[in-house]
Structure 1
Amino acid sequence: MTTSERAPLSLQLEFLRMMDGGGAAGPFGPRYTIVAGWRVIGGLNSAVLKESLDYVVARHEALRTQVVFADGEAYQRIVPPDAARLTTRKLPETAPEHRERVVEEFLNEVEAEVSITTETPRMRAVLGRFDDHDGVLAIVAHHSLVDGWSMQVLMRDLTACYAARRAGGSPQLPPVRQYRDYVAWQQERADSAAVRKAQEFWRRHLDGARVLPVPNDRPRTPDPYTTGWHRFMLEDGFRTATLAAARQYRSSPFMVLMAAFMVMLRDRTGVTDLVVPTLTTGRDPSWTLDVIGTFYNFMPLRADLSGCRDFADVVATVRASCLATYPNELPFLQVVTEAPELMSAVMDPGAAAVAFQVIQHGVALDGQTVDGLRFDAIRRRVVSTPVGSQIPDGILAELDLHPDGGMFGKVAYTRHMYDEETVTGMVADLRRTLLETVVGRSVAA
């Protein structure tokens, strides 16, 4: 391919377009990024890493795609491969036992930078080095075209190429399909029986429903804004109690934690018929598991807690909602078409939505060795930052049950509407709710 090619927008990109207020703060602006980091132990060859980044850019079209709005049209423009951007930074000389803090501060610094706009590739890499055998690799990509799952695919292909190049060969990876193939699949099934059945489900399930509005500290304005990230850790007892509760209630950890989150919101707002958005990977059909692109769906989970006598009833209600909802997953634009008033309460200038998710999938190259290099995914983060990767609106809360112990949380909040004190108050309420509903129950049992 020597010239750029055009492809339609996916429904996920159309949803981001609906959320876009224009300007630098929206989901197509320079701060709407996703950042993943890996600690790298061993003698990393920067030149081979750069070659491997170039390979990944050539392999995956999404990394060299621009979203274009011009002359009343909106489309993807796929451009020919270009050199990837790799920069190296010297990290402060620090004793090994203090390096985790430096690593977190380095990642926060990378996230706060404004560097990805309309140029391609839509990703870059920053290598921080303590010395020749201890470093941090941060991958930054534009979140309109790359999601969290994609970062794992990217890293898998990057390290496969790195190992092959170091051995003097070429990576033996299977052919990969592209994001435009997914868009074509999506368009082909737009009026299928499966989609119509799912739309009918959402029409019934969301009848009379409204996404729960959470009052702002300040009214929403069209002015530019930044996103703050409040990070925290809950002791390992929260993780083990959650896993025990999931077994007891024949549920997933997500169902238990969403149930606790809804109890917290009910107690804060007095609302019992709750609709709380969550994010799903959206990786259907299965061949999309190896494709880089933006597939995640904004899914509203509805649970009426008015008849719940105790926490077991709440979990059962949330579980039933999840089991009914997930088989009918659709991109949010197809959902909201069936419930046009769903977002009305959170579009008010004085309120916004709070989305909640739980990390439940594995992370690529966590504790694995490739060509003598050990890669450890950086998930244990507790250093907050006032300026980080952008979210389009409101608040996004996330919990991560770390397999090595502890439950790590982060809350992103748009700073033109919310103060950090409001966020820390919400986290304190969630901790207290978990103690009352999950941890205390586990100890009592």
Structure 2
Amino acid sequence: MSTESADPIPLSFSQDFMVMFDQGDQQGPFGPRYHVVYGWRVRGGIDVATLRAALADVVTRHEILRTVLVRDEQSRHPELFAPSQPELEIRDLTGTEVSARDRAAEELLIEIEASEYSFARAPMLRGVLGRFDDGDSVLVLIAQHISADVWSMQVIIKELAEYYAARSAGREPELPPVVQYREYATWERAAMAGESLERSRAYWRETLDGAKLIPTPSDFSRSANLPKNTSVERYLVGTDVTTATLELARATRSSPFMVLLAAYKVMLRELTGETDITVTTMMSGRGQSRFENTVGSFFNFIALRTSLAGCESFREVVERVRRTCLGAFSHAIPFPMIMGDVPDLAQAFFAEDSQVFAFQVFQFPFVMSAQRVGDLEYSEIRRRLLPASVSTDIPDGALWTLDIDPTTNEMMGQLQFNSNRFEASTVGGLVARYLQVLKESVSTPD
């Protein structure tokens, strides 16, 4: 049952952007695999009834998790529903040898990522609990991507753990007041106006004048109209390269993202011969610190243009990429506005024999790693290396992702790609090439 709201709930720019690509409930951003899937190993005895109640608490707290986007010809708007119980599926994993449990947990995540879930009705969150024994479990959470981004999943598990602990101890949960996603959408609409917006739009018109997104040649042409499917290649960046990356970032007053992006741009230069390199990335887009614990879809595409002409060392590439990022981040506006002002940039998205790859690095302020909340200990399953032929859906193209794990000083990476455009062997070759460029670059930056 929907609930009446005193004020209409606005669409955020991120939601508005996704609605533009609506292809119904069977594919596209509202399709059955356009979800976010994350998993945690949980140590300690879990009471299923309490866990179900804690899941319902999270949905009650964050209204975006019980909001459905109405997409008809007359109106496109969020519709808020009353709190309801999210589905929690229980999987019996008893009998799995202790030595095989890490792999079994990863295989469960891969299976769930490949599964189809309907989010046509609220709530937009559900879970799967796999139980190895009374003290060792896997908790997987699935959310519709238009209702929650990857950062939001960190917020959800943190609050779920606190609700569970509070219910188990018979106390009130210790959580700050919630800032709803509608408040962000309202703030964002107000912020994207006036002289500040015009200055940012002028920045992008000047910065991207004559720019071209650098695409990657595909194995299959767009006109072949092969069935679309998202696959994923996963890889590990060892401790030596990770350490060198972090040290170079500190030495150049850069973020690890900037160093990793610089290596990616060097690879693109080697593959294409181009020195004017423009690629897309995704920002978290939260804008203000008060939205750090808000659940919702905040991501925003942004174009990063860097000239590598005349660079004599990788350190110089990093310095140029750093300037690129600082300028772009300080003038961030919704991607459709950029495309409206620089329409030629979008041509690469529709090329016949190539695809645009986006590049992102996860850097979260909080990630659960052997973190005890009440009687349970939570650790995010980050070290994932198994490839998958079917996975969480992404829009047309491909997406590089790197996740820095400070607890192991390693990086886990994945390259999600549309299998109707690329062979797995081609993607594996690209991953190997990037790892080689990264290793050589950070090992000898001068």
TM-score range, shorter chain: over 0.9
Q: Deviations over 1:363-419 (max 9, x none)?
A: 432221011211001111001111110001111011122211322111100111111
Residue 346 of structure 2: aligned partner = 343
Q: Secondary structure at the match of 2:333?
A: coil
CA pair 214-19 structure 1, distance change in 2 beyond 3 A: farther
376-385 vs 9-18, which moves further: 9-18
Q: Deviations over 1:185-234 (max 9, x none)?
A: 12223322222221111111111112212222112366652211111112
Residue 255 of structure 2: aligned partner = 252
1:3 aligns with 2:3: yes
Paired residues of 2:212 and 2:278 also in contact (CA < 8 A): yes
CA pair 9-80 structure 1, distance change in 2 beyond 3 A: same
- CA distance in 2 between counterparts of 1:369 and 1:107 reads 22
CA pair 79-322 structure 1, distance change in 2 beyond 3 A: same
**TM-score with structure 1 setting the length:** 0.95
Residue 356 of structure 1: aligned partner = 359
- CA distance in 1 between counterparts of 2:40 and 2:86 reads 18
Q: Secondary structure at the match of 1:290?
A: coil
Q: Which amino acid aligns with 1:300?
A: A
Residue 421 of structure 1: aligned partner = 425
Paired residues of 1:25 and 1:226 also in contact (CA < 8 A): no
Q: Which amino acid aligns with 1:148?
A: V
Alignment of 1:219-368 (within 5 A): 219-220=221-222, 224-368=227-371
Residue 383 of structure 1: aligned partner = 386
Paired residues of 2:25 and 2:32 also in contact (CA < 8 A): no
Q: Which amino acid aligns with 1:423?
A: V
197-206 vs 88-97, which moves further: 88-97
Residue 373 of structure 1: aligned partner = 376
1:407 aligns with 2:411: yes
Give the C-alpha shift of residue 92 in structure 1. 5.1
- CA distance in 2 between counterparts of 1:21 and 1:220 reads 18
- CA distance in 2 between counterparts of 1:67 and 1:412 reads 26
- CA distance in 2 between counterparts of 1:72 and 1:215 reads 40
Q: Which amino acid aligns with 2:398?
A: I
Paired residues of 1:66 and 1:77 also in contact (CA < 8 A): yes
Give the C-alpha shift of residue 432 in structure 1. 1.4
CA pair 259-12 structure 1, distance change in 2 beyond 3 A: same
Alignment of 1:423-438 (within 5 A): 423-438=427-442
Alignment of 1:109-148 (within 5 A): 109-148=111-150
Residue 68 of structure 1: aligned partner = 70
Give identity over the alignment, percent.
40
**Structure 1 spans left out of the alignment, 5+ residues:** none
Q: Deviations over 1:145-197 (max 9, x none)?
A: 10011111111211111111111133242321211121211222332222222
- CA distance in 1 between counterparts of 2:283 and 2:427 reads 23
Give the C-alpha shift of residue 431 in structure 1. 1.3
Q: Secondary structure at the match of 2:394?
A: coil
Alignment of 1:84-103 (within 5 A): 84-91=86-93, 93-103=95-105
Q: Secondary structure at the match of 2:41?
A: strand
- CA distance in 2 between counterparts of 1:392 and 1:206 reads 23
Q: Secondary structure at the match of 1:407?
A: strand
Give the C-alpha shift of residue 334 in structure 1. 2.2
Residue 166 of structure 1: aligned partner = 168
Q: Secondary structure at the match of 1:374?
A: strand
Residue 185 of structure 1: aligned partner = 187
- CA distance in 1 between counterparts of 2:337 and 2:364 reads 26
- CA distance in 2 between counterparts of 1:308 and 1:36 reads 40
17-26 vs 247-256, which moves further: 17-26
Q: Deviations over 1:83-112 (max 9, x none)?
A: 111111012523322211111001001111
Paired residues of 1:90 and 1:130 also in contact (CA < 8 A): yes
RMSD between superposed Cα atoms in Å? 1.8
- CA distance in 1 between counterparts of 2:248 and 2:192 reads 39
Q: Which amino acid aligns with 1:389?
A: T
- CA distance in 1 between counterparts of 2:377 and 2:81 reads 34
Q: Secondary structure at the match of 1:68?
A: strand
- CA distance in 2 between counterparts of 1:171 and 1:116 reads 31
CA pair 362-296 structure 1, distance change in 2 beyond 3 A: same
405-414 vs 134-143, which moves further: 405-414
Q: Secondary structure at the match of 1:103?
A: helix
**Structure 2 spans left out of the alignment, 5+ residues:** none
